[in-house]
Amino acid sequence: MINNEEITTNGSIFPLGWLDSLRVFFIEVGEISRFTLRFFKEVFIPRYEFKALVKQSYIIGYKSLPLIAITGLIIGLVLTIQARPTMAQFGAESWIPSMVSISIIREMGPVMVAVIFAGKVGSGIGAELASMKVTEQIDAMEVSGINPFKYLVVTRVMATTLMLPMLVTAADAISLVGAYVGVNLKGSISFHLFFLQVFSNLSFSDVIPAIIKTFFFGFSIGIVSCYKGYNANRGTEGVGEAANSAVVIGSLLVFIIDMIAVQLTSLIY
Amino acid sequence: MGIPLVEIEHLSKSFGSNRVLEDINLQLDPGENLVVFGKSGSGKSVLIKCLVGLMQPDGGCVKLFGEDIARLKTAELNVLRKKVGFLFQSAALYDSMTVRENLEFPLRDMKARSIADVEGLVKESLRNVGLEEAIDKMPSELSGGMIKRVGLARTLIMKPEIILYDEPTTGLDPITSREISQLIVDIQKKYNTAAIIITHDVACAKITSNRMLIIKDGVINATGTYAELSVSENEWIHSFFI
């Protein structure tokens, strides 16, 4: 080792930081994979924590609804307002409801809501579990013979996986209402006609893949947040780091999964 | 006397190059209060964490109720853990739960218990530590001494045969420390529990101990009763009791 550099077998020199980062990255991927495997092992073994699952679903799902609803409304509204001038140039204003609805339901709704979800819920889970870890609450569960992984991790990952699709569905619906308002700001279209145009151009191939991918978004956000919190280092610094990295990695995974989902969808349909 | 409740043989534990515990041997008999004494950072807390499987030792053997915990499956270890109470240094109360929920939580696997039984156990445990009125409070509403007492009540609710206390008086004023120490003795007498008490508080050791071990740099440096060790001619040991 020469200062901050390391000589490889073929004689070339790489900065040690770069190699270390790569090594840490692969270790982290391995650890998250192991954590995910443990989740699948624990999820099917009794005891099932239904009460905790319902509580987490309420916190993660219901309590996120106002933020998701406001965001959804704004997405629909802004998308319509932004699209109108360009559509008007081509005399295609009548296509705005169809275009906006397809954009929202296929991409904007799932991805935007998932990213906001990663920010709100992912950071919350990361910080909560990390705080429990550093204050020995997780150890306290373990020594009293309770499986903390099942109680804390399995319930939260299940809740994020089940709640995100519901939130996305709600956000899509509210976005379409936002789009309706946006269309009517500079034009006039009845509620009935607007939604007739929306649904006439929507098919199951638009809706189903978009909903399916949100299960994966929710799962990955849940797993990463729980992993970061559950394995936090000691101290308050670890709590902040867990919350931060839960959001960063969670959001990044949303885009990666979305990219894969788009490729798969285009192959199937 | 029957088999020891706890037997530790040649236990060693390192963190990287830092050797925290080395060749530790100890035994805890029924009804005994064993104080493990030493300076901060001498490996006392690591010792009791190895004892309940929260940390894996690098070498040696830990036996709980005659069973080597390294050979047990998680489910089997959990059965033994239910017979061991652990009071953490911070008490580790679940801060999203009320005092009542904190106490009910360890009982959740006991399906046979009715709601009235659980309520009775919760109240009895809180009565033992003199905190019945705090039943519906959140941990954030309690003082340091009250948090320790609730932690102790949560430990007692499972009626453990062994209680492990990790620095039970740390961060408390001398009066509250004395009260907690006396509570430890009262609990031992009332329930005939055995206890390992990790502390660096001489007053706590004096009140609670039947026997003491002094750890220095991860090695057991001296053993004896409080009375014996307090008059030790070893300068380092004697310095604790001045």
A contacts of B78 (beta carbons < 8 Å): 145-147
Number of H helices, E strands in chain A: 12, 2
For residue B236, the distance in angstroms to the closest alpha carbon of chain A comes to 31
Residue among B84, B92, B105 whose CB faces A135 most closely? B92
For each of the domains in chain B, give its residue range(s) and CATH number, in order of start.
1-68+162-242 (3.40.50.300), 84-159 (no CATH)
How many Å apart are CA A245 and CA A251, to the nearest integer? Answer: 10
User: How many Å lie between the alpha carbon of B198 and the closest alpha carbon of chain A?
Assistant: 16
Instruction: Clarify whether residues A121 and A215 are in a common domain.
Output: yes
Give the pLDDT score at A222: 97
From B82's Cα to the closest Cα of chain A, the distance in A is 6
- Residue A227's H or E segment, with its range, is helix A204-230
ipTM of the complex: 0.87
**In this structure, are A41 and A62 located in the same domain?**
no
Sheet with strand B84-87: strands edge to edge = B84-87, B162-166, B194-199, B33-38, B211-216, B219-224
A143 interface with B at CB cutoff 8 Å: yes
Whether residue A145 lies within 8 A of chain B, CB to CB, comes out as yes
3-state class of A147 per DSSP? coil
The residue of chain A nearest to residue B94, with distances taken between CA atoms, is A137
A35 and A102 both lie in a single domain: no
Alpha-carbon distance of A123 to A21, in angstroms, equals 23
Contact A137 B109 (CB under 8 A): no
> Is A265 part of the contact surface with chain B (CB cutoff 8 Å)?
no
Same domain membership, residue A200 and residue A169: yes
Range of the domain at A18: 1-45
Task: State how far the Cα of B122 lies from the Cα of B157, in Å rounded to an integer.
Answer: 7
Determine the Cα–Cα distance for residues B196 and A202; give it in Å rounded to an integer.
68
The confidence score (pLDDT) of residue B112 equals: 55
pLDDT in tens, B182-201: 989 998 888 889 999 999 88
Residue B190 is which amino acid? K
Interface touch A135/B94, C-beta < 8 Å? no
Q: pLDDT tens across A21-66, in order?
A: 888 889 999 999 999 999 999 999 888 889 999 999 999 999 999 9
Helix (H, G, I), strand (E, B), or coil: what is residue A191?
helix
Of the pLDDT bands very low, low, confident and very high (cuts 50, 70, 90), residue B111 is low
Any residues with CB less than 8 A from the CB of B93 and at least 6 apart, and which? A137, B99, B102, B139, B147, B150, B151, B154
**A146·B86 Cβ contact <8 A:** no
Question: A133 vs chain B: nearest CA distance in angstroms?
Answer: 10
d(CA B143, CA B133): 14
Query: Does A137 touch chain B if contact means CB atoms closer than 8 Å?
Result: yes
**CA nearest to B66, candidates B160, B2, B158, B155:** B2
Same domain for A40 and A60, yes or no, is: no
Task: Tell me A197's DSSP state.
Answer: H
A82 lies in the same domain as A182: yes
Same domain, A12 and A123: no
Residues A40 and A129 in one domain: no
Q: Would the pLDDT of A1 be above 80?
A: no
Please tell me the total count of domains within chain A.
2
Nearest 5°: phi and psi at B196? -110, 120
Measured between CA atoms, the residue of chain A closest to residue B55 is A139
Mutate to test the interface with B, among A63, A133, A144, A146 (most CBs of B within 10 A): A144
CB contacts < 8 A (A, B): 49
Strands B162-166 and B84-87: parallel
pLDDT on residue A5 = 47
Residue in B49, B82, B89 closest to A145 by CB: B82
Q: Looking at the structure, do residues A134 and A237 belong to the same domain, yes or no? A: yes
How does residue A104 score in pLDDT terms, banded at 50, 70 and 90?
very high
User: Are residues B82 and B98 in contact, defined by beta-carbon separation less than 8 angstroms?
Assistant: no
Per-residue 3-state assignment (H helix, E strand, C coil) for chain B: CCCCCEEEEEEEEEECCEEEEEEEEEEECCCCEEEEEECCCCCHHHHHHHHCCCCCCCEEEEEECCEEHHHCCHHHHHHHHCCEEEECCCCCCCCCCCHHHHHHHHHCCCCCCCHHHHHHHHHHHHHHCCCHHHCCCCHHHCCHHHHHHHHHHHHHCCCCCEEEEECCCCCCCHHHHHHHHHHHHHHHHHHCCEEEEEECCHHHHHHHCCEEEEEECCEEEEEECHHHHHCCCCHHHHHHHC
Mutate which: B46, B50, B54, B62, vs A, most A CBs within 10 A: B54
Domain identity same for A35 and A95: no
Of the partner residues A132, A137, A144, the one whose CB lies closest to the CB of residue B81: A144
A147 to chain B: which residues are within 8 Å by CB? 74, 78
Shared-domain flag, residues A13 and A110: no
Residues A215 and A190 both lie in one domain = yes
In this prediction, residue A12 has a pLDDT band, given cuts at 50, 70 and 90, of low
Q: How far is B220 from chain A (nearest CA, A)?
A: 25
The phi, psi pair for B214, rounded to 5°, reads -110, 125
pLDDT digits (tens, 9 = 90+) for A142-194: 998 888 999 999 999 999 999 999 999 999 999 999 999 999 988 888 999 99
For residue B24, the cross-strand partners are B11
Give me the mean pLDDT over the B200-221 stretch: 90
Q: Does A51 touch chain B (CB under 8 A)?
A: no
Q: How many residues does chain A have?
A: 269
B156: nearest CA partner in chain A: A144
